[in-house]
A and B are shown apart, each in its own frame.
Chain A
Amino acid sequence: MLRLLLLLAGGCVLFFVVKQLYTYLPEPVLRRLVRFWDKFFLSLTWLFAAVTVLALGFIIFHILSSGIPHLSPRLFAVNVTLGDVSMFPAIVSTVLMVVIVLAISVPLGMFTAVFLVEYMRTGSWFVTLIRSAAEILAGIPSIVYGLFGMMFFRVFLGLGFSILSGSLTMSIMMLPLIIRTTEEALKSVPDTYREGSFALGAGKLRTVFRIILPNAMPGIFAGVILAIGRVVGESAALIFTAGTILQIPSSLFDSARTLTVHMWRLSSYGQYVNETYATAVVLLLVVLSLNAVSGIIAKRFTKT
């Protein structure tokens, strides 16, 4: 391991030493060398771009081609026992979780952005403080959120393994995303709209809710859909908060696994490889289509 790293470092040093020697080379050799490096870097660029597209394309293709043949009615059975492979309960709890997370994080994040953009001067210390707080929140790994959710919501507030613990944890995780997208959407509403509204005698509040938010809605909506995709795809933060029990939750205080956690559990059993592939197909299609829709909305919005 260490030898490998040393080799790598040695290679880099050698490269720079050789580069320094260039100036002492005779003209024709230098010319040929430059042409060689040109070709080398150009082909490397093409190669690596192809590698990116092929690698990412292969992952999608592999999951879809191996999973679609195994999509059977058994995987969507409504009545399940513990340790079953049906993803129906997981889908129900995923939808439930998405709804709760949005109900908490969208108003919070939206109001935060409204306060930062409409009520505060840009560049004031409060804005900087909250923006850096959101940046730090965005960088915290999901497993740390899971630890925090476990200690705070599950144990300290006594919510136990429940949809609610999981949703509250995820809501904090989604805050930075909602704040940032809403902020950008609010900023893209032209100032003339605000001035027009004030000139007609509307107050700040009415201007925000009647003029600014409706005009910023597509941008906010794109962010919300992106957040749905993230909630659906999350797993590490939910294992210790929402738990891993496969059941249709009868209340918010029931433990339940989302689709992603369900897929993780299936993959760890070993004998359900085909079922895991099929679950992965469903998961992939849901997340990718959500992201695509979000991208299309954002694009259409920025164009007009």
Chain B
Amino acid sequence: MRYGRMRKHGLEFSMKIVFAVCACMSIVAISLIAIFLLAGGLPAIHEIGIVEFFLGQRWAPGDRYPAVPDFGVLPMIVGSIYITLGALVIGVPIGLFTAIYLAYMCPRRIYVFIKPVINLLAGIPSVVYGFFGMVVLVPIIRPFAREITGGGTGESILAASILLGIMILPVVIGISESAIRAVPESYLEGALALGASKTRSVFCVIVPAAKSGILAAVVLGVGRAVGETMAVNMVAGNQARMPTHLLRGARSLTANIVMEMPYAYGLHRDALTASGVVLLLFILIINMLFVFFVRKGR
């Protein structure tokens, strides 16, 4: 009896330790990711020079003798920012209005049909989106690009922005819809009682009240758009120079890594790792903003 109890307690204790160790794994994972990326990237940034790395406008890792290779990631940073901004301009209004529609104007019968479909679409692989952009969006944009900029294949910032705008829709819709639904019913009733029409009440009372939740949705959308790799790589054209025109190509940080890593070695490779660090920094800032807006909402 006594032995049995001892053994049972031992098992209880050891399993508790096992659970605790498992729980620590995500912290271990984060630390490993940070250590390996920083160890690969920071020496490269130091060797290239902080200013040359972040503000250099020329990315030419292939240049050897007699020219000097250049590792300026500014074109990629600007490319990422332009593409993300474009995605927001397209995705946020459409997503927000759709969320408002789902929360306040949608008949129950249509809602039970639309809502699961939108959730389902969050799971479409980015390669499928990218392929769709390649075979549908790019050919549509091509004649306009030729007409307006006098060249180009249609692989452009615009194509990437439209595609990313569609891709962030499920995220933006999901989070802003729940934010709008979290606004107390009494707000709407109060506005209606004051004589405002339903549309006016929704847009002038409910939406401002759900502001922080909507901002959180936008920030999460930004995170998705900045981190998206394959779809952007397939439609953005990927020219490693400062973006010149909406209808011309640009290269994002993510596309830069995925394109050049397979054949990179030495400093080139470490410079790519360093651009991964830049990406990670972006994401951390975005995450902090997200947490900030979510807390503010409560």
| Chain A residues proximal to chain B, CB less than 8 Å | 1, 4-5, 8, 34, 37-38, 41-42, 44-49, 51-53, 55-57, 59-60, 62-63, 107-108, 111-112, 114-116, 119, 126, 129-130, 132-137, 139-148, 150-152, 156, 172, 175-176, 179, 203-205, 226, 229-230, 232-236, 239-240, 260, 263-264, 267, 273, 276, 280, 283-284, 287-288, 290-292, 295
A295 touches B120 (CB 8 A): yes
| CB-contact partner of B98 in A48, A57, A280, A288, under 8 A | A48
Q: With A59-B129, A141-B283, A144-B279 as known contacts, state yes or no: A287 contacts B199, CB within 8 Å.
A: no
Tell me the smallest distance from the CB of B72 to a CB of chain A, in Å: 18
B132 touches A59 (CB 8 A): yes
Q: How far is the CA of A142 from the CA of B93 in the complex (A)?
A: 26
A51 touches B127 (CB 8 A): no
Q: With A141-B226, A263-B131 as known contacts, state yes or no: A130 contacts B114, CB within 8 Å.
A: no
A151 touches B273 (CB 8 A): yes
Q: How far is the CA of A175 from the CA of B173 in the complex (A)?
A: 25
Number of A-B contacts (CB under 8 A): 241
A235 touches B244 (CB 8 A): no
Q: Of B33-41, B44-52, B55-63, B186-194, which binds chain A?
A: B33-41
B25 touches A41 (CB 8 A): no
**Does chain A have a CB within 8 A of B85?**
yes
Tell me the smallest distance from the CB of A256 to a CB of chain B, in Å: 16
User: CB-nearest residue of chain B relative to A151?
Assistant: B36
CB neighbours of B43 from chain A (8 A): none
B30 touches A137 (CB 8 A): yes
Tell me the smallest distance from the CB of B278 to a CB of chain A, in Å: 10
Tell me the smallest distance from the CB of B189 to a CB of chain A, in Å: 18
B82 touches A1 (CB 8 A): yes
Query: Could you list 17 further interchain pairs (A-B, Cβ under 8 angstroms) beyond the known A143-B227, A267-B234?
Result: A1-B245, A45-B97, A45-B100, A47-B97, A49-B106, A49-B114, A57-B117, A133-B29, A141-B279, A144-B37, A144-B276, A152-B32, A179-B26, A232-B125, A233-B125, A236-B126, A236-B230
**Does chain A have a CB within 8 A of B84?**
no
User: CB-nearest residue of chain A relative to B40?
Assistant: A151
Tell me the smallest distance from the CB of B171 to a CB of chain A, in Å: 12
B127 touches A263 (CB 8 A): yes
Please give me the 9 A-B residue pairs with the lowest Cβ-Cβ distance, nearest first: A141-B227, A233-B125, A48-B97, A111-B22, A115-B19, A49-B101, A236-B229, A291-B123, A115-B23
CB neighbours of B95 from chain A (8 A): 52
| Contacts A/B (CB < 8 Å), 9 sampled | A45-B101, A53-B114, A143-B257, A147-B257, A172-B29, A175-B29, A234-B125, A280-B131, A288-B120
Q: With A108-B22, A156-B36 as known contacts, state yes or no: A38 contacts B199, CB within 8 Å.
A: yes
**Does chain A have a CB within 8 A of B136?**
yes
A148 touches B25 (CB 8 A): no
Q: How far is the CA of A175 from the CA of B290 in the complex (A)?
A: 20
Q: How far is the CA of A240 from the CA of B261 in the complex (A)?
A: 8
Q: With A56-B121, A139-B223, A235-B230 as known contacts, state yes or no: A273 contacts B254, CB within 8 Å.
A: no
| Chain B residues proximal to chain A, CB less than 8 Å | 8, 11-12, 15-16, 18-20, 22-27, 29-30, 32-33, 36-37, 40, 82, 85, 89, 93-95, 97-98, 100-102, 105-106, 114, 116-132, 134-136, 157, 166, 169, 173, 197, 199-200, 203, 223, 226-230, 234, 243-246, 254, 257-258, 261-262, 272-273, 276, 279-280, 283-284, 286-287, 290-291
| CB-contact partner of A235 in B93, B126, B272, under 8 A | B126
| CB-contact partner of A119 in B19, B36, B40, B136, under 8 A | B19
Q: With A133-B30, A151-B273 as known contacts, state yes or no: A112 contacts B199, CB within 8 Å.
A: no
Tell me the smallest distance from the CB of A162 to a CB of chain B, in Å: 16
Q: How far is the CA of A5 from the CA of B245 in the complex (A)?
A: 12
User: CB-nearest residue of chain B relative to A126?
Assistant: B23
Q: With A141-B254, A295-B119 as known contacts, state yes or no: A288 contacts B124, CB within 8 Å.
A: yes
B227 touches A229 (CB 8 A): no
CB neighbours of B125 from chain A (8 A): 232-235, 260, 283-284, 287
CB neighbours of A119 from chain B (8 A): 16, 19-20
Q: How far is the CA of A230 from the CA of B124 in the complex (A)?
A: 9
CB neighbours of B116 from chain A (8 A): 292, 295
Q: How far is the CA of A55 from the CA of B273 in the complex (A)?
A: 36
CB neighbours of A276 from chain B (8 A): 131
| CB-contact partner of B254 in A55, A130, A133, A143, under 8 A | A143
| CB-contact partner of B123 in A148, A203, A229, A240, under 8 A | A229
Q: With A115-B19, A144-B280, A288-B124 as known contacts, state yes or no: A51 contacts B94, CB within 8 Å.
A: yes
Q: With A4-B246, A133-B30, A203-B8 as known contacts, state yes or no: A152 contacts B227, CB within 8 Å.
A: no
Q: How far is the CA of A174 from the CA of B71 in the complex (A)?
A: 33
